[in-house]
Amino acid sequence: MMRKRFLAAAAVAAAAALAITGCTGTSGDEGSDVKPATSGTVTWWGWTPDTPVADSYIKEFNKQYPNITVTYKNFENVDYRNTITPALDSGKGPDVFDLSPAGGSPDTWGPYALDLTSLAKDTLGADWKDKIGGNYVTQLTSSDGRFVSLPLGGMSAGFLWYNKDILDKAGATVPTDYTSWVDTCKKVTAIGKTCFTMGAGGKDTFPTDMYHSIANTVDPDFFIKAATGKAKWNGAEGVKVLEIIKKMKADGIIASNALDGPQYPLANNEFMKGDAAMVQMGFWYTQYAGAESCKASMEAAGVTNPTCFVQLPAAFPDVAGDGHKSTFFGEADYGLAINSGSKNIGAAKTFVSWMTMKNEGQQNVANALDLLPALKGVTPDWSNISLVNDAVQRPAIETLIKDSADTTESRQWQTTEKTLDAIVVAIQQVLDPSVNKSIQSIADDQQASSVASKVGTK
Amino acid sequence: MIDTDRIVGSDRTARPVQRDGRPQRRARLLPGGLRWILPGFAISVGLIYYSIVYSGYLSFFDWPGGRALMTPVGFQNYLTALQDPVLWTALRNTLIYFVVVFVVQVAGGTLFAAAMHSKVRLANLYKVLVVIPVVVAPATLAPAQIQVWQSDGTVNRILGFFGLSSLEQSWIGQSTTSLLVVTLVGCWGAIGYGFILIYAGMSQIDPELIEAGRLDGAGNFRVLFSVVLPSLRPIIVSLAILNFITALKLFDNPWLITQGGPAHSSEFLGTMIYGETASTDRNLGYASALSILVLVVAVAVSIFMQLRGRERVARARGRRKELADV
Amino acid sequence: MFETRSRRARIILQLVLTIAVIPFVIPLIAMLQTSFEGAGWGNYLAVVQVPGFPKFFVNTIIIAAASIVIVYLATLMAAFGFSKLRVRGKEVFFWLMMAALTLPEVVLIAPLYTTAVKLGLLGTYWSVILPIAALQIPFTVLIARGYVDGIPDAVFEAARIDGANTWRVFWSILVPLSRPIAVALMVLVLIYAWNSYLLPKVFLIDDGMGVVTQLPEFFRRQYNDDTPKILAASVITAIPTIIAYIALQRQFERGMAAGAIK
């Protein structure tokens, strides 16, 4: 009797499960013909930007379109992925949502979004693809050729940021190769500061940027080849990268607390507190050269009454010593997608095209010094930006922007998450004093755990 | 009047004995119990079982979520899981965590509860301090814990202060000590939790029993072992089950402090499942398969613990009867 | 419970307790310390100035209160049923309930979301209250059942012989006698509901429905969180639970004194 009741209940539940999952919403481009509207409400969900930044973008938008109300909801990365899917499936999703190139997102969430090709054509003209920088359009196109997300901005990495005040005080110079780096570090540690702060603990993939930069000095093509399965992580180059990392720790470049935590907050806080001379961060770190944001981030790191230091970018030193300059790498950071089931497609189209394809919208992105604007030809309006030290930082940042825009190598777009995780694990095993494996066997394990990416290899 | 230690509860295996030694007929249970358990059953099973069935269904597919393709893969996800060395590391970590935290929770909880049942000054202050790790969410305390275990953190500083500098190390950053950190943080929270429940459970202990023990000349610790702990058996068995399930699906503290690292050394099934759903190229089918494995292992071990616990209750009650007879 | 006849024994006990409590206090002090870094009291000011600050507390109180009431009733009834009443296939029911404890929360989100939409509960407090209750009931029933097992059958027998029906027995005997464990369990349910983060985050997205666990989120950034303010927010949200715990402790003491079997 009990058993029957239980089995019946289970069967009902199973049937319900099948019925509900079988129920897919509409996936289509019916919204393509809807014209951009000048009034309405738009809900926007994303893991980025931070709420205060989004609110400032929206405020600017409302200056031109006062009758469109936009509300932004910020989610932490993982919460976002867990929430957006059931929300979109049940028809309760937002009108506009973030969609990035990472991990096949265009294929996972693209089917919920409109194909924005027509919107782009209408706004930028027939040559719209040439007006958008980088490889961003390809990166946000799904495998069935639908352009599902308009890029808001891109990012670049593969360089260092240094605290000029510390280097000056230590009488050290910006390192350009391995020996000069060891030398600089000796001088910096002599005045009681950390030389190169890094947080490689946990699961964050920031350490892969360092691997990538070192790999580029060993062999400029190695990283992408290995990521896409055309080379092996445990080949001679890969082993050399790991050996260099090990040496960097032994020679005092990488600090002994590198595994105490992830890059945020460990490395960030150390740098922002003014306790470290150098850190490897990407373009998003440019914003802390600003006079106000510098103070805010120093306070967030726990400094009372902070005085800002001068932060400047530097190329990653040629640690392999073979004369290969370490090049930058980057890709679209994220774009905005329009929910094809939205009831406010018109207003959404106005908002999205303003943010991503209009000069006023992209100017905001450029001025924030957080992303590289997707629209070509938009540069920061320096009259509205005050840096800690304009004379020194502004030319450096302008060069950084130009070099970043010229980069053709991707950062994580062509690397699967499993590969990124394998790199992090390998770095951790190299830096962990309690691990006794040989570099070759660490590299072998890394190769075994990696999964080659097929993206961008046609 | 009613001799409480002569009558056993709803345990089926033991038969109570009357004073003249003849077995007493079992107190008849009232019928019609179903409607009493139904509300609780309906809420918990009703709401959660859909999720269990859904996860079971998903575990036979490869699926990144959203509108991407759901590829049927049969038992592949389970096979991959069972062949993954990280899974076995996680299970080993679960076992170690469970044993250590359970023992510390019962020992620490009982000692604290016993102390709080005694005449102690500032009892209320101690009660609050012990419980704060329970009250405040793990996400809140994690940054403070991370600080404590850093290479330049409190623990290393204390070691240096006591002249044990050679023991200073990067606790979080070494694969040999990362599990230790997670386990100690777990103990820290578990003691207060155990205290709350054991303190309540102690209220059921007949003070006459304790008096009897003292009259027999038993010291504080003998009383604890022979009288108090056996009476707390049901709670202890329940705590064993709860601790095992918690250890199996453990997520908060390892994720916040070490994220399962370095190099998976402090990985648990809970962090593996979360890591899979958090990843950009995730396979929700794989995450579901891991969840089903958690469910199966949890239920199997829990049933085993409950059965073992019942035997011991019967034996312990028999033993106590002997003690009282002497 | 510990007998401390001599002055020396009392001092030793006090000393041991104090030393034992020290490891508990260290992270707490670190937390308080960090919450004052950077802007000092300004951190706390920033937290209190978050728009809609009181509403967060109101929402959390509503959710916690409803969860506690539901769990309290369901638990005592179920513990009574499992322990003192006859149910066919009792253990099957019990273990089916226990299985509901084993799923990690993150796995429950998608199916619970679908359920909430189908039942029309999305955006209401029920979408959070019911899952919280569902996840706590197996645990509370497990503990309460053991406790009620320890209440001698004879007590219930005596009441029945006096002519009370099952309901009377429940209200007049079981409820008062199980007060100590019920209070303990409700404290734990309160803490769980108060600190619930994932469920409200996903189900209570509308403005004005936020709960206190979302207060620290105002100070989280994509990369560098404002940790001092986050900790200040956490301190502020933890204070009500500590006060509630102290208040319930007193309830508990009274329950213990009144619940003597004899």
User: pLDDT at position A54, please?
Assistant: 92
Residue span of the structural domain in which C207 resides: 36-258
- Interface with B, mutate which of C10, C33, C107 (most B CBs under 10 A): C107
The residue of B59, B279, B288 whose CB has the most chain A CBs within 10 angstroms, and thus the best one to mutate to test that interface, is B279
Query: Is B139 within a domain?
Result: yes
Tell whether the model's pLDDT for residue C77 goes beyond 60. Answer: yes
C28 within a domain of the structure (yes/no): no
Q: Is C120 left (phi over 0), alpha (psi -120 to 50) or beta?
A: left
Average pLDDT of the residues of chain B: 83
CB-nearest to A260 from B150, B264, B275 is B150
Q: What is the CATH number of the domain that holds B280?
A: 1.10.3720.10
In terms of phi and psi (left: phi > 0; alpha: psi -120 to 50; beta: otherwise), the region of A377 is left
Domain membership flag for residue A129: yes
Same domain for A264 and A148, yes or no, is no
**Is there a single domain that holds both residue A105 and residue A57?**
yes
Chain B interface, mutation test: which of A7, A108, A115, A423, most B Cβ atoms within 10 Å? A108
Between A154-158, B27-31, B106-110, B215-219, the lowest mean confidence (pLDDT) is in B27-31
Residue B271 domain-assigned (yes or no)? yes
CATH number of the domain where residue C253 is located? 1.10.3720.10
Tell me what pLDDT residue B29 has: 62
Q: Is C111 on the interface with B (CB under 8 A)?
A: yes
pLDDT of C4 over the 90 cut: no
Closest approach of B31 to chain C, Cα-based (Å): 5
| Beta carbons of B172 and A111 less than 8 Å apart | no
Query: Do A148 and A170 share a structural domain?
Result: no
Question: Same domain, yes or no, for A281 and A426?
Answer: yes
Tell me the shortest Cα–Cα distance from A175 to chain B, in angstroms: 27
Is C9 inside a domain boundary? no
Report the residue from C39, C202, C228 with minimal CB separation from A82: C202
Give the model's confidence band at C106: pLDDT under 50 very low, under 70 low, under 90 confident, else very high.
confident
A 10 A CB-CB count for A133 gives 21
Position B25 in a domain: no
Mean pLDDT by 10 residues, chain A (458 residues): 49 45 46 83 92 91 95 87 85 92 84 93 92 90 92 95 96 94 96 95 92 95 94 96 96 93 92 95 94 89 90 95 89 94 93 94 93 93 92 95 90 91 95 94 95 81
- DSSP letters, A108-143, are HHGGGB---HHHHHHHH-TTHHHHB-TTHHHHTB-T
Give contacts of C114 with chain A, Cβ < 8 Å: 20, 86, 89-90
pLDDT at res. C202: 85
In a domain, A455, yes or no: no
Q: Which range among A25-34, B108-117, B180-189, C222-231 shows the weakest confidence by mean pLDDT? A: A25-34
Flag whether C173 is in a domain: yes
Residue with tokens 């409480």: B4
User: Is pLDDT of C14 > 90?
Assistant: no
Q: How confident is the model at residue B254, as a pLDDT?
A: 93
Residue type, A120: A
> Which of A17, A77, A107 comes nearest B68 by C-beta?
A107
Nearest residue to A108 via CA among B69, B27, C177: B69
Examine residue A457 and state whether it is found in any structural domain, yes or no: no
Say how many domains are in chain B.
Answer: 1
A425 and A280 in one domain?
yes
Best of A428, A441, A446, A454 to substitute, by most chain B Cβ atoms within 10 angstroms, is A428
* pLDDT given at position C109: 85
* Residue A10 counted as domain residue: no
Residue B233 domain flag: yes
Which residue of B120, B134, B270 is in closest CB contact with C104?
A: B270
CA distance to A108, B22, B36, per residue, from B74 (Å): 22, 59, 41
Q: What is the CATH number of the domain that holds A374?
A: 3.40.190.10
Q: Three-state SS for A177?
A: strand
A305 part of contact set with chain B, CB < 8 Å: no
Domain assignment present for residue A98? The answer is yes
CA dihedral C8, C19, C32, C251 (to 10 degrees): -60
Q: Do A302 and A370 have their domain in common?
A: no
In a domain, B291, yes or no: yes
Indicate the residue type of B93: N
Q: Is residue A431 a part of any domain in this protein? A: yes
Average pLDDT over residues B2-11: 37
How far apart CA A229 and CA A450 sit, in angstroms, is: 9
Domain contains C31 = no
- What are the pLDDT digits (tens) for B119-129? 788 888 888 89
Min Cα–Cα distance to chain C from A197, Å: 15
Q: Is residue A181 part of a domain?
A: yes
Nearest to B66 among A112, A258, A432 (CB): A112
- C172 inside domain: yes
Residue of C110, C111, C224 lying closest to A300 (CB–CB): C224
User: Is A379 found in the same domain as A315?
Assistant: no
Let me know if residue A382 belongs to a domain.
Answer: yes
Q: Is residue C5 part of a domain?
A: no
- Please, which residues 339-398 of chain A have a Cβ atom closer than 8 Å to chain B? none
The HSE-up count of residue C58 (CA atoms within 13 Å, CB side) is: 6
Chains touching chain A through at least 3 C-beta pairs below 8 angstroms are B, C
Tell me whether 0.95 is exceeded by the ipTM.
no
Does C214 map to a domain?
yes
CB contact under 8 Å between C87 and B47, yes or no, is no
Q: Which residues on chain B are in Cβ contact (under 8 Å) with C34?
A: 143-144, 147
- Domain boundary residue, one of A376, A391, A406: A391
Would the pLDDT of B310 be above 80?
Answer: no
Residue B153 in tokens: 């953190």
Domain count for chain C, please give it: 1
Amino acid identity of A251?
D
Q: Mark whether A185 and A259 lie in a shared domain.
A: yes
Number of folded domains in chain A? Answer: 2
- In a shared domain, residues A46 and A90: yes
User: pTM of the full predicted structure?
Assistant: 0.87
According to the model, what pLDDT value does residue A91 have? Answer: 82
What DSSP assignment string belongs to C134-191? HHHHHHHHHHHHHHHHTS-HHHHHHHHHTT--HHHHIIIIIHHHTHHHHHHHHHHHHH
Same domain? For A273 and A212 the reply is: yes
- Tell me what pLDDT residue A13 has: 46
Q: Which domain holds residue A52?
A: 29-155+332-391
Length of chain C counted residue by residue = 262
Same domain, A87 and A148: yes
Task: Dump pLDDT digits (tens) for C34-45.
Answer: 888 878 899 999
Summarised one tens digit per residue, pLDDT across range B234-265 is 899 999 999 999 999 899 899 989 988 898 99
Q: Are strands A40-46 and A96-99 parallel, antiparallel or unpaired?
A: parallel
* Residue pLDDT, tens place only, B80-119: 999 999 999 999 999 999 999 999 999 999 988 888 888 7
Cα Rg of chain C (Å, integer): 22
Kindly indicate the confidence band of residue C257, based on its pLDDT and cuts at 50, 70 and 90.
Answer: low
Domain housing B221: 91-325
DSSP B308: H
With CB atoms and an 8 Å threshold, state whether B144 touches C4: no
Number of residues written out for chain B:
326
Residue C11 located in a structural domain: no
What are the chain A neighbours of B83 within 8 Å (beta carbons)? Answer: none
